[in-house]
Structure 1
């Protein structure tokens, strides 16, 4: 384990992040070109790697769940979970999906409906079915599988082996007991911090823009720097404050509120929207997903064509983004999952959230598609121009749309707060040698730094470039996560004789 005086990971990661941000501020054009060039190279030559890695991440926890290790507890034998199932699910769902559900809930199905990836006629009934199936694929098992792999590996080594809450702890079978302080171990931890702070800062900045757009859309408020600074400051105050108060109080409270608002809005639209179409779309989409998930999980474009460009801009982009978020989301899920069996963990982290995502997209996606198919309204052009306004466009054509739009702005805010406060907590763990209850001062520092970073990049126009750079960093993490799966299996087999649960 690293010495308490060894802050090298903290200082090096801060230096790398600062250098990256300075590059984006001083020379945004070259930074943007470099980030896009690197990502384009990875999509062209490592796209198969992203696809294969994500498939491994889906299979590994499922096989582990079904194996003899399924009833093994992530903690001491007989230990109980810290949180109720509802609070646990609320925290992991809020941290894992974030505002993406709102951002893409209407926009992605409508986009695929107008530009079908699989040859159906644009605007046809078949295009609508394909659009929902594709969206289910992007938000189904695969994103949660990446989180599950990181969380499983970390939880086992933290709670069964007493390792610190660091990304390098997953590699104890390879690096040994002093692996956290090795050069390779520190490099892994630095990559994790960079990926986390870059992803969170870009999300905070882009979320500020979306909230500003929502306020403009609803109340005709101005879209300017002053209001955006106020939004960032308000969000930072709330997410830092809830992080400082701890998981048991602030983070759990906001996550429960977030889940309540999400359920309220989805159920309201279900009953006042095209209810029967939503039910039928959910059933059809789920059936299409199960029938095609294997084929689509390996479907590349070896001979080029239009599908190759679509694959790089959607599926492979998503896969890289989920991998980039896996370190922080996985670490947070591991922190809140102590005492659960592997079987309970996989069901809760992999299956239940995927079903929740399917339901969300069936409700909001079908409500948008129904307007287009029936000719009630044409929202596709506005969605194509700004995908984030899709849900507000849909609400215009349903009863109580104005009220639900206001609640939706509140939900967007709570989604960002839950992602940011869990990220602040994880960054504090990473930078205090894996302390499972990091100092409040360190959490306050990270919260303020994230807000300042988001604002500076928002003003300099470097947010999108930093997002692409953080996604490009997913390539080495894909390899790291595959190795982590092997390390966990190796440790389980080696320690099998000591597991009292397996003897019952």
Structure 2
């Protein structure tokens, strides 16, 4: 099978999963729920310790001598400007998720906080702090580990772009054998379910937005509308994927940043501006102050709440399942940067943007709720979390216009996430080919969309997507831990260049 061994094996297993979902959906649901319950009840501590350990290692790299190592030849310059690089990071990292949860999560936490009394000022502060926590440094640290390993071993050590090559310092040439194949197949499946989760959220939100703007859409089954959305967007991202990284994804990434920033600025200006900037400032300080405690918090003394399992553990698992995809993509566009520059950029810039996003959208949602301007929570209870953003936007003078921008943004994120995923899956399943063939990308595009559709239709919708992400993340968490030891072993063999002084 040679170059396409991982591709053939992975496609065959993916086809079996899709067939299982079509032929015996109830059995698939029952099996995955049993596995999911075991992971949440017995291994939640493992996810918490792992995610926090990844963050600690990333911070260590910033201040260590290893930060001077360049991802490529020591004199090599970055391939992309900071603006383009950040656009790639933001688009691949969590674009759809920010739009979906930006209003819904803080408002939900306000009515169901982890500790505080619901619907109080303390609950509002806690809701914002945990939103920052779930979308802040921890997820980007997870992405950093995988992206750094791939970029370092590919551009510095001349290895192929597959993740298994990053284990050569530990297992030598066995990365070319069955161990490497197993690692790469796990990478592929974590990517499929991580991306399918996001595409499911995106399809549900586009469906909810269309229903909000065009009430006649509500006459049809929501699942049917979501299927149509997935079908249409699949065609669009398949067309985009044929144009390559430097055309389709690059231009769409810039469009995403412009649309997202425009929407955020309009809500900030039209909303309670001073209040929202105060929310950002206060919550940022509270987040930093409480970060250690939140990083290790479980419901061990109050297990019946299941709050941490339902939110924090799910998020850490989701980010880990996304890490092969996002890490591979970030690595692909980060050649020429030093490890220090890379880690600071991947950790800080997207986390700060996400914090501002939640301050604007989540802060406005809680403000409207507390002031009696709009019952966002009631809308979510009646129509699902996917309607929260549109329920908020309709309160503004330009509500319909803002909702149209939001729909375009979600669709654009949908396309770029799926487009990027086909590139990454192509790289990881064709022995590191940085420019996989259009046929390979086409096949992976169909599999991602089919997986999202199967999970949405046959296993209680969005809850099934969360279950798939949690299960897919478990084996990859182990791979990430071993990956750190492999990187450190290789770093120790480096001749570390001196840190270059800044030119005056």
Question: TM-score of the superposition, structure 1-length normalised?
Answer: 0.94
2:470 counterpart of 1:475: no
Give the 3 Å change call, closer, same or farther, for CA 384–344 of structure 1 in structure 2: farther
Counterpart position of 1:235: 233
The structure-2 alpha-carbon separation of the partners of 1:383 and 1:229, relative to structure 1 and needing over 3 Å to count, comes to closer
Aligned to 1:345: 342
User: Deviation of residue 101 (structure 1)?
Assistant: 0.6
2:175 matched to which residue of 1?
180
In structure 2, the partner of 1:59 is 56
The equivalences for 1:13-28 within 5 A come to 13-28=10-25
Are 1:28 and 1:462, in contact at CA under 8 Å, matched by a contact in 2? no
Distance 1:379 1:198 in 2: 30
| Counterpart-to-counterpart distance in 2, 1:423 and 1:133 | 30
Is contact 1:125–1:373 with CA below 8 Å preserved after alignment? no
- 1:360-399 equivalence runs, <5 A: 360-385=357-382, 386-399=384-397
Separation in structure 2 between the aligned mates of residue 318 and residue 458 of structure 1, nearest angstrom = 19
Residue in structure 1 matched with residue 297 of structure 2 by the alignment: 299
Of the three residues 144, 157, 161, the one matched with 1:161 is 157
Check whether the contact 2:197–2:469 (CA below 8 A) recurs between aligned residues.
no
What SS does the aligned partner of 2:417 have? helix
In the alignment, which of 439, 442, 445 is matched to residue 443 of structure 2? 445
CA distance in 1, matches of 2:430, 2:475: 24
More moved, 260-269 vs 296-305: 296-305
Secondary structure (helix, strand or coil) at the match of 1:411 reads: helix
Q: Structure 1 residue 448: deviation in Å? A: 3.2
Q: How many residues align?
A: 496
Structure 1 position 8 matched with structure 2 position 5: yes
1:116-131 equivalence runs, <5 A: 116-118=113-115, 120-131=116-127
SS at match of 2:74: coil
Q: How does 1:305-316 map to 2 (within 5 A)?
A: 305-307=303-305, 309-316=306-313
| DSSP 3-state at the match of 2:302 | coil
Whether 1:248 and 2:217 are equivalent positions in the alignment is no
**What's the secondary structure of 1:122's corresponding residue?**
coil
Name the CA distance, whole Å, in 2 between partners of 1:501 and 1:443.
41
Greater shift in the superposed pair: 69-78 or 226-235: 226-235
Aligned to 2:464: 465
Correspondence for 1:264 among 251, 262, 270: 262
Tell whether the 8 Å contact from 2:78 to 2:336 is kept in structure 1 after alignment: yes
Separation in 1, partners of 2:287, 2:454: 41
Secondary structure of the structure 2 residue equivalent to 1:100: helix
1:305–1:45: structure 2 CA closer, same or farther, 3 Å change rule?
Answer: closer
* 3-state SS in 1 of match to 2:67: coil
Distance, in Å, in 2 between the alignment partners of 1:304 and 1:134 is 18
CA deviation after TM superposition for structure 1 residue 476, in Å: 1.6
Question: Shift of the alpha carbon at 1:150?
Answer: 0.2
Alpha-carbon distance in 2 for matches of 1:273, 1:332: 35
Unaligned runs of 5+ in 2: none
Q: Distance in 1 between matches of 2:269 and 2:202?
A: 28
In the alignment, the residues of structure 1 paired with residue 203 and residue 371 of structure 2 have an alpha-carbon distance, to the nearest angstrom, of 34
Matched residue, 1:40: 37
Q: Please say if residues 42 and 472 of structure 1, whose CA atoms lie closer than 8 Å, have aligned partners that are also in contact.
A: yes
Q: Does structure 2 conserve the Cα–Cα contact (< 8 Å) formed by 1:171 and 1:179?
A: no
The answer to whether the 8 Å contact 1:21/1:457 transfers is no
Q: Distance in 2 between matches of 1:195 and 1:462?
A: 21
Give the SS at the match of 2:68.
coil
How far, CA to CA, are the matches of 1:305 and 1:470 in structure 2? 22
Question: For the structure 1 residues 241 and 180, does the alpha-carbon distance in structure 2 shift closer, same or farther, using more than 3 Å as the test?
Answer: farther
The DSSP-based 3-state class of the residue aligned with 1:62 is helix
Confirm or deny that 1:401 pairs with 2:399.
Answer: yes
Q: Residues 186-335 of structure 1: matches in 2 within 5 Å?
A: 186-222=181-217, 223-224=220-221, 227-307=225-305, 309-335=306-332
Aligned CA-pair RMSD: 1.9
Offset at 1:84? 1.0
Report how far residue 243 of structure 1 moved.
2.2
Q: Unaligned stretches of 5+ in structure 1? A: none
Partners of 1:110 and 1:383 within 8 A in 2: no
Q: Is the 2:320–2:476 contact (alpha carbons within 8 Å) kept by the matching residues of 1?
A: yes
Which residue of structure 2 lines up, in the alignment, with residue 432 of structure 1?
430
2: CA distance between counterparts of 1:259 and 1:233? 25
Corresponding position: 1:134 with 2:130? yes
Whole-angstrom distance in 2 between the partners of 1:446 and 1:316 = 28
Does 1:145 pair with 2:144?
A: no
Question: Does the 8 Å CA contact 1:98/1:418 hold for their aligned counterparts?
Answer: no
Partner of 2:419: 421
Take 1:44 and 1:336, find their aligned partners in 2: how far apart are those partners? 38
Whether the aligned pair in 1 keeps the contact of 2:14 and 2:447 (CA below 8 Å) is: no
Residue 242 (structure 1) shift? 2.2
Cα separation, partners in 2 of 1:232 and 1:19, compared to 1, 3 Å: same
1 CA distance for matches of 2:304 and 2:274? 34
Match of 1:110 in 2: 107
Matched position secondary structure for 2:442: helix
Does the 8 A contact of 1:25 with 1:457 survive in 2?
Answer: no
Contact 1:193 1:427 in 2 (8 A): yes
Distance 1:274 1:51, change over 3 A: same
Deviation at 1:249, TM superposition (A): 1.2
Residue deviations 1:234-273, cap 9 Å, x none?
Answer: 3122222222211111111000000100000000100000
